[in-house]
Chain A
Amino acid sequence: MTIGRREFLIGAGKLLIVTAPAAAYLEAMAAGTEIEPAYKMADHYWGMIVDIEKCIGCGNCVRADKAENGVPMEPFYFRTWVERYHIEGGWSEHPEVDSPNGGYDGFPEKYAVGDAGKSFFVPKLCNQCAHSPCTQVCPVGATFETPDGAVLVDKTYCLGCRYCVQACPYGCRYIHPQTNTVDKCNLCYHRITKGLTTACCEACPTGARQLVDLKNPKDPVHEYLRTHKIQVLKPQMATGAKVYYNGLDGSVR
């Protein structure tokens, strides 16, 4: 089969008509939203250190998070919380855990001194996972891992389907009763991109929580990780959690 010049030109013209809108579409897609130039996402990778040996269960972090991020009081939700573990005899597969109001009002004394048990506090928050199950299940791309290591929610895109709430192995998500969209700890993204630390770290009196930038070679996190025995929550889930716990007991779930 041979194609004459005439047929070729007609065919090429038709192809041009079809591909021109496609090219325009691709160009429109490439033009992204400008991020504030002072903050370079490529220079940061955020995480957090939680030192259980320093946590006193005062609840300052829970109150600070509520104040900073408008987490509803009624009904009571929290994006970060503190759990109290009590283990009879020092080791148990089934520890006793309580967290009254997420630790918002502190912890009333419940256990007696010398009752042959072990008690400690475990602050929890979104682990800002690098391979997060919650972002993988979102059907519309409303939650995602940013290039600088935070897991965020796009409120304008969230359908409120609650799939991610179920997917998170750490129970970090809730549906905001006013917006009916999902909400979670966003590592105070509005603060850390301005050079501030998170609200919970700002309010923690003992330094049990510390925001860390894993891409900053001068961050004390590197020395800390080298000199301490570090564990993340549920490592068997392979979530790539970036909240590093020091002194984490094996009974903590």
Chain B
Amino acid sequence: MQKFLKDKEHLVRLAALFAAGFVLFLAAKTLLVPKGFGLYGHYRAGALADNRARPISFAGRAACGECHTDKRDEIQGGKHAGIGCEACHGPLAKHAEDPSSDPKPVKPDPRKLCLTCHLANVAKPVKFPQIDPKAHFEGNPCAGCHSPHAPDKEPKT
């Protein structure tokens, strides 16, 4: 034993230096690696909460129907029943949160809006109803004949 540890000074110094380096490394890693890193994988778990923090712009059709029950009932059962309100009326989450707030929802320009979908195009599915606006009652608002909420129910004469 005594013979083995003869001139051990340099070994102890090296070991102490190594230990100090290791402690320094751990301390630095603790400081630099953010909280939650590695909880789910090689990334910061807090990033999930960051992604969730963004405010919404589209309230969703359920929120619209809470107040606009007449429109909710009108659209049901028709060809446009599957379309979300904000698909035509635009994102209105702020309005759904506080109906008195600005900007107030505006009525979409009917002929322009209808043509967003129903303008004839070769690439559209054949079964989808399409019109050529030049040949189809040019210059007149679509809503004069077709109800935008229920185009196939109670056709206007």
* A contacts, CB < 8 Å to B: 1-2, 14, 17-18, 21-22, 24-25, 28-33, 35-36, 53-60, 64, 67-69, 84-86, 106-107, 109, 111-113, 115, 119-121, 141-147, 152-157, 186, 189-191, 193-194, 196-197, 199, 202-207
Contact = CB atoms under 8 A, between A and B. Distances in A.
Interface of B: 1, 4, 19, 22-23, 26-27, 29-30, 33, 35-58, 60-61, 80, 82-84, 86-88, 90-91, 116-117, 119-125, 128
Given A56-B125, A144-B41, A196-B60, A157 B87 contact: no
A58 B58 contact: no
Contact of A68 (B38, B40, B56, B84): B56
Contacts of B19: 14, 17-18
A216 B63 CA distance: 23
Contact of B48 (A1, A68, A121, A152): A152
B56 A196 contact: yes
Contacts of A1: 1, 4
A28 B39 CA distance: 11
B110 to A, nearest CB: 15
Nearest to B23: A21
B122 A203 contact: no
Given A1-B4, A152-B47, A56 B33 contact: no
A202 B58 contact: yes
Contacts of B46: 33
Nearest to B44: A154
Contacts of A29: 33, 37-39
A111 B122 contact: yes
A109 B82 CA distance: 26
Contact of A60 (B50, B87, B123): B87
A33 B49 contact: yes
A143 B44 CA distance: 9
A25 B123 contact: no
